[in-house]
A and B are shown apart, each in its own frame.
Chain A
Amino acid sequence: MESFHSRQSSKVMAGILAVFWVVVLYLVLNVTRIDPDQQMAQKIFYYHVPSAWVAGLGYLVVMFAGVLYLTKKDEKWDHLGLAAAELGTLFCALVLITGPIWAKPIWGAPWSWEPRLTTVLIMFLIYIGYFMVRNFGDEGERTRRISAVLGIAAFFNVPIIYVSVKFWAADAQLHPQPAMSQQSPDVFWTFMLSLLVFTLLFVHLLRFRVHILKLRSIVLGMRYDV
């Protein structure tokens, strides 16, 4: 099988990502205005919010891949689900790291029991459980099936978690509310570009990981044949 990085599409994607990553960094540091209240701390928003978006996107993919795996029983959907879960969790971790970095100077404390933060943390913990199921289970079809079920159940729990945490700590509603339409064009377009770059990065990494999982399953299949 052709190596992932030698494919034309992968090369193009990697090139686009490399260029636009630098462009976004440049725009964030040199072009966008400096927030009068938050100063440089506000700049993390260009990375924090897209990470959160990609984490959510990852878990959405896990859910759809789970449904497709259960209905079609094709291993490729399981690969997609696992890869998306890994990436979703990776970006979840990034959200949980960048959030406190921003919150320390602005809120005065790195952590607050704020609905979005708490929801992300709970999702993170649920997906740690997901990986434990994958690790402790065997390589067989059964583990893939129950992982799919878990991915679906976890996803439908998100809105309930969010609403409950929101009203549980109604006094901790410190999180900036999304108001992108009121932002000046430089902020808006830099943010949008960053969002796009993160989404492309997600797609690229997802394809890479799915490719590796496919190779892995081929190798495992060979081992059982012998």
Chain B
Amino acid sequence: MLAVLVRKDLLIEFRSREILISMITFGAAITLLYAFSFRPSPESMLTFAPGLMWMVFLFVSVLALHRSHSLEKEFDAFSMILSAPVERSVLFISKYLSGFIFLVVAQMVLLPLFFLFLQLPLPANLAQMVAVFLLVDLGISAAGSLLSGIVMRVRVNEMLLPLMLFPMVTPLLISAVKSTASIMDSQPFNQWKLWFQLILSFVIVFSLIGYLIYDYVSEE
């Protein structure tokens, strides 16, 4: 059932392409603004790049996360899904996974652009970078899917999601920025292990909370 739900989200996106295209365009636009407003010299850029990078991804993720639930409002699709014989927590995981996939795909396009525009050197340890990125994406998607389910229930929900999401994910953002900076600085894993553990605990806490209480969010 999970696969069917995720497939449904991906199929809608594959046909309309509205989430990914807006994510990528928006992300590229912010990156461009960064490049113009900071006039990067490679040395100074290295200090700010991890923070700027994650801010781009956080802004961009809001688009996907918001859309993931708001499209269910069209033609009252959500009630239909709820009437299907499927556990609500599975529904949460499906939103969680599709949000994660969108975020990863958008990053695959945006990250090279970011390195190119801001003239950054590629990090030596790409595997670590990928691991951190995937994990942080899981975290953003876990907290975001839960909050997006919550704000879907409220009238003025477009602006509410970022308002709720940004303070909620601050620990994740701090850890993501710190670990990315350490990887780009080629520091050994031991030096930034703590940040990795924090990302991990955020992912676990929010996946569990979402899994356990999405039931109450989705109930009609």
Contact = CB atoms under 8 A, between A and B. Distances in A.
27 contacts: A129-B163, A129-B167, A132-B163, A133-B164, A136-B154, A136-B155, A137-B153, A145-B219, A146-B216, A146-B217, A148-B216, A149-B146, A149-B150, A149-B213, A149-B216, A152-B209, A153-B209, A156-B205, A157-B205, A160-B205, A161-B170, A161-B171, A164-B170, A165-B170, A167-B195, A168-B174, A168-B178
B98 interface: no
The 9 closest A-B pairs by CB, nearest first: A164-B171, A125-B167, A129-B164, A160-B171, A136-B154, A146-B150, A168-B174, A164-B174, A126-B167
Nearest to A128: B163
B-side binding surface: helix, strand, loop or mixed?
helix
A156 B208 CA distance: 11
B41 to A, nearest CB: 25
Nearest to B156: A136
Contacts of A148: 216
B210 to A, nearest CB: 8
Size bracket, chain B contacts: 35 or more
Interface of B: 143, 146-147, 150-151, 153-157, 160, 163-164, 166-168, 170-172, 174-175, 178, 194-195, 198, 201-202, 205-206, 209, 213, 216-217, 219-220
Nearest to B152: A146
Interface residues of A, number: 30
Contacts of A103: none
B213 A152 contact: yes
Nearest to A148: B216
